[in-house]
């Protein structure tokens, strides 16, 4: 059992020397991900995106009946086929669809849907329904743990969360390190003489060990980032002036810096439109579509298109019938967006009917775990069955 | 129900819908609470296994009387004052029962907790990660650097960089706290804060703090090494000779007038400093 005394052991580092203890430097070199390794970028549309007004079933009789104040004019939609069209603000997304880089999976959810933000989001993050498991590892965390790494030592950052909230549960893992940042500056250590803690040798998950490991990891990350920034010239790409676009730009910079992270995660908040939905939703979708387009264009310019897939989801859709406050309440199924050069553009699944409902809500068409399974098996190449506790039939998301 | 009384697992979707009916008529007009009788659903509702024509007030009464509410309140208090693996199911039940018999009197609960042996037990020391505000304020108080006080707006900014943007929690549930306070960005912020404190940048205008006076007060005419040992014990709880040596080495190259503050910055940036 590690004592407090052991915990205080450390080695002193002089500021001019790299702030990375030799152990980690070696590990980082050994675990160098190959330059062409694939990454997944996750955009969480937080609050419950109204799928019905995002991928609009304009031909469904139920639409006009359920939505009066919130009904979108079919002539202004970006029609994708004879039955659905994208919200007018999703010009960026339509452009990607036409360029053959965007797949939209319709009616995604899970059995016995929860309408609690927390519970439903935890289900998406962990791909589990048992609440006891909602505070442990997430689906991506488990995937990163399983991945074979040379030398078996976890490298620097395996996943990066860009935002100012706490690291999403989806990234929580046993061995990999999720780093979180809001701005590039966040990773800059003001040159201070550091005491680098040694991580107590045992495997116990004690608080001291956790803290030592986190601190060590943070300082290692700062050093790596400093080195990368020094090598890279900042070419300003063309991004819209929105918060989401800024975060995607930072992710692009991290990718271009040669970051070894396999997963990047960011959150766009505000989708919980219980009232006055029209303007707010339109603004959010515009921010989302334009940021996504700019991001993929930037990656293409940097020669990284074949290495990145973007996955955007929300914890649930919203109710079919609008409420009395020109908004919508928590619902069930919703669309999921998957984008990237390697993605087979198109609509997957049938749009859920607005007349054949379950207790006033859309029926689920596709279990979200099928999307996870597809991304795990075919993109991250990690066996999905081990992570999702069960086999889920893959979807045709990728180009042949 | 989910966050503020019962907690998940103690109510059903039907309870939520029926409770919504009980709450009809409650509204806010011109920043004042109003009850509009005309909009209130006066029918019978079935909530948590009880039937009645519940009004909003009666719903609140019903929720407060649930054992689950007392348990959850007790749990929240324990989350705040106790570290990891300190409170067991037995103690928690005991607290919950006490809360029930004292009509959810939080003053009583806090007194009980703060007077308890468990609170002062060895296993409750340094068993939790300190949140940004308590760590920031704690560091300044421990180092007796409150007069003149640092810029509170500046401190609030540091707190935001450490993940606690005051009055802006990430969602209705507040901050998760605990281990989640320590992510790369927030750890780097804590290290940068330690540096800023040592350089006097927390004050406007900047003024390097004088730790010598504090050191002398507790170690009159002590050697530098004795001072370091004292500060290590103050900030980290203990100081082995080898550890003190490491700090001496770290501070050795600093200009003489900065050696002590450099050493203190090192201590504050050490993992152990984040535990309370």
Higher-confidence position of A159 and A122: A122
Average pLDDT over residues A131-150: 81
pLDDT tens column, A290-344? 999 999 999 999 899 999 999 999 999 999 999 999 999 999 999 999 999 999 9
For residues A285 and A77, give the distance between their C-alpha atoms in angstroms, rounded to a whole number.
13
B275: phi then psi, degrees, rounded to nearest 5:
-95, 140
Residue of B nearest to A190 (CA): B192
* Interchain CB contact of A6 with B (< 8 Å): no
Q: What is the pLDDT of residue A19?
A: 34
* Confidence grade of residue A230 (pLDDT, cut at 50, 70, 90): low
* Confidence grade of residue A274 (pLDDT, cut at 50, 70, 90): very high
The pTM (predicted TM-score) of the whole model is 0.68
Q: Which of A140, A187, A197, A189 has its CA nearest to residue A162?
A: A187
Window 120-139 of B: residues touching A by CB (8 A cutoff) are: 126-129
Higher-confidence position of B102 and A179: B102
Pull the structure tokens for residue A8: 């205080």
Strand partners, A178: A159
Cβ separation B183–A167 shorter than 8 A: yes
Q: Which of A217, A285, A241 has its CA nearest to residue A77?
A: A285
Among A26-30, A37-41, A346-350, B35-39, where is mean pLDDT lowest?
A26-30
CA distance, residue A334 to nearest chain B CA (Å): 20
Handedness of CA A199, A204, A209, A210 (dihedral sign): positive
Q: Enter the ipTM.
A: 0.86
* Interchain CB contact of B242 with A (< 8 Å): yes
Residue A239 near residue A288, CB atoms below 8 Å: no
Please name the residues in contact with A127: beta carbons below 8 A apart, sequence gap of 6 or more. A139, A368, A369, A372, A387, A388, A389
- The alpha helices in chain B, defined as continuous H runs, are 13-23, 56-64, 67-81, 89-101, 106-114, 117-120, 132-142, 152-161, 184-198, 212-218, 224-236, 241-252, 259-268
Q: Which helix (H) or strand (E) holds A219?
A: helix A207-231
A267: phi then psi, degrees, rounded to nearest 5:
-125, 135
Cβ separation A118–B2 shorter than 8 A: yes
For the cut 60, the answer to whether the pLDDT of residue A380 exceeds it is: yes
Mean pLDDT over each residue of chain A, to the nearest integer? 84
For residues B17 and B35, give the distance between their C-alpha atoms in angstroms, rounded to a whole number.
19
pLDDT digit of tens for each residue in chain B (276 aa)? 988 899 888 999 899 999 999 999 999 999 999 999 999 999 999 999 999 999 999 999 999 999 999 999 999 999 999 999 999 999 999 999 999 999 999 999 999 999 999 999 999 999 999 999 999 999 999 999 998 899 999 999 999 999 898 998 766 677 878 888 988 788 999 999 999 999 899 998 888 888 988 888 888 878 899 999 999 999 998 888 888 888 888 888 888 888 899 999 999 998 889 998
Residue of A nearest to B267 (CA): A195
Residue A251 near residue A42, CB atoms below 8 Å: no
Average pLDDT over residues A259-266: 88
Residue B266 near residue B244, CB atoms below 8 Å: no
Strands A78-79, A334-339: pairing is: unpaired
CA distance, residue B108 to nearest chain A CA (Å): 30
For residues A120 and A48, give the distance between their C-alpha atoms in angstroms, rounded to a whole number.
10
pLDDT tens column, A94-105? 999 999 999 999
Helix, strand, coil in percent for chain A, rounding step 5:
35, 15, 45
* Interchain CB contact of B236 with A (< 8 Å): yes
Please name the residues in contact with A283: beta carbons below 8 A apart, sequence gap of 6 or more. A89
For residues A387 and A382, give the distance between their C-alpha atoms in angstroms, rounded to a whole number.
8
For residues B149 and B156, give the distance between their C-alpha atoms in angstroms, rounded to a whole number.
13
Residue A363 near residue A353, CB atoms below 8 Å: yes
CA B38 to chain centre: 43
CA distance, residue A322 to nearest chain B CA (Å): 17
Window 61-120 of B: residues touching A by CB (8 A cutoff) are: 83-84
């Amino acid at each position: 059992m590690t004592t407090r005394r052991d915990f205080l052991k450390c080695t002193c580092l002089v500021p001019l020397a790299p702030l990375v203890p030799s152990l980690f430097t070696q590990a980082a070199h050994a675990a160098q991900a190959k330059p062409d390794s694939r990454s997944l970028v996750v955009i969480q549309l937080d609050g419950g995106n109204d799928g019905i007004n995002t991928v609009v079933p304009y031909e469904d009789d139920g639409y006009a009946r359920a939505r009066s104040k919130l009904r979108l004019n079919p002539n202004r939609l970006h029609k994708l086929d004879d039955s659905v069209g994208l919200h007018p603000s999703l010009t960026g997304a339509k452009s990607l669809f036409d360029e053959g880089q965007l797949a939209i999976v319709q009616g995604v959810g899970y059995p016995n849907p929860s309408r609690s933000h927390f519970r439903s989001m935890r289900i998406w993050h962990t791909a589990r329904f048992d609440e006891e498991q909602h505070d442990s590892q997430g689906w991506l965390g488990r995937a990163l743990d399983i991945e074979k790494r040379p030398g078996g030592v976890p490298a620097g950052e395996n996943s990066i969360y860009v935002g100012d909230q706490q690291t999403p549960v989806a990234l929580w893992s046993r061995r990999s390190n999720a780093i979180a940042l809001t701005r590039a500056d966040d990773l800059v250590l003001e040159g201070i003489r550091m005491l680098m803690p040694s991580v107590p040798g045992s495997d116990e998950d004690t608080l001291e060990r956790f803290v030592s490991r986190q601190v060590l990891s943070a300082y290692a990350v700062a050093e790596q980032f400093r080195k990368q920034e020094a090598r890279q010239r900042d070419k300003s790409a063309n991004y819209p002036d929105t918060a989401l676009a800024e975060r995607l730009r930072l992710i692009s910079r991290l990718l271009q810096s040669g970051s070894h992270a396999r997963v990047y995660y960011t959150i766009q908040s505000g989708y919980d439109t219980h009232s006055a939905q029209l303007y707010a939703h339109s603004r959010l979708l515009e921010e989302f579509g334009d940021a996504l387009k700019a991001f993929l264009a930037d990656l293409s310019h940097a020669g990284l298109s074949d290495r990145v897939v973007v996955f955007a989801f929300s914890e649930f859709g919203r109710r079919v019938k609008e409420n009395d406050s020109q908004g919508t309440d928590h619902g069930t199924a919703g669309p999921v967006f998957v984008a990237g050069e390697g993605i087979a553009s198109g609509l997957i699944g049938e749009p859920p009917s607005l007349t054949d409902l379950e207790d006033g809500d859309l029926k689920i068409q596709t279990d979200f775990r099928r999307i996870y399974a597809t991304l795990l098996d075919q993109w991250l190449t990690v066996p999905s069955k081990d992570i999702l506790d069960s086999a889920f039939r893959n979807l045709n998301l990728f180009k042949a | 129900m989910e966050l503020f009384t019962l907690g998940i697992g103690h109510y059903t979707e039907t309870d939520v819908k029926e409770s919504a009916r009980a709450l009809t008529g409650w509204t806010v007009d011109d920043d004042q609470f109003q009850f509009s009788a005309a909009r209130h659903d006066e029918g019978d509702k079935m909530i948590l296994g009880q039937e009645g024509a519940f009004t909003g007030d009666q719903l609140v009464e019903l929720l407060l009387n649930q054992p689950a509410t007392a348990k959850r309140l007790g749990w929240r208090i324990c989350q705040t004052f106790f570290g990891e693996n300190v409170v067991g199911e037995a103690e928690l039940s005991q607290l919950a029962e006490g809360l029930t018999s004292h009509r959810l009197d939080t003053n009583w609960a806090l007194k009980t907790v703060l007077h308890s042996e468990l609170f002062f037990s060895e296993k409750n020391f340094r068993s939790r990660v300190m949140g940004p505000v308590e760590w920031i304020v704690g560091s300044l108080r421990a180092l007796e650097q409150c007069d003149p006080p640092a810029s509170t707006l500046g401190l609030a900014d540091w707190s935001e960089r450490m993940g606690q943007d005051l009055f802006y929690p990430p969602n209705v549930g507040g901050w998760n706290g605990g281990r989640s306070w320590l992510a790369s960005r927030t750890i780097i912020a804590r290290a940068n804060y330690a540096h800023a404190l040592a350089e006097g940048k927390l004050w406007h205008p900047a003024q390097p703090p004088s730790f010598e006076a504090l050191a002398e007060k507790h170690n009159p005419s002590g050697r530098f090494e004795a001072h370091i040992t004292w500060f290590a014990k103050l900030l980290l709880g203990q100081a082995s000779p080898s550890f003190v040596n490491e700090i001496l080495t770290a501070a050795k190259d600093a200009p003489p007038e900065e050696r002590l503050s450099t050493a203190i910055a090192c201590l504050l940036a050490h993992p152990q400093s984040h535990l309370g």
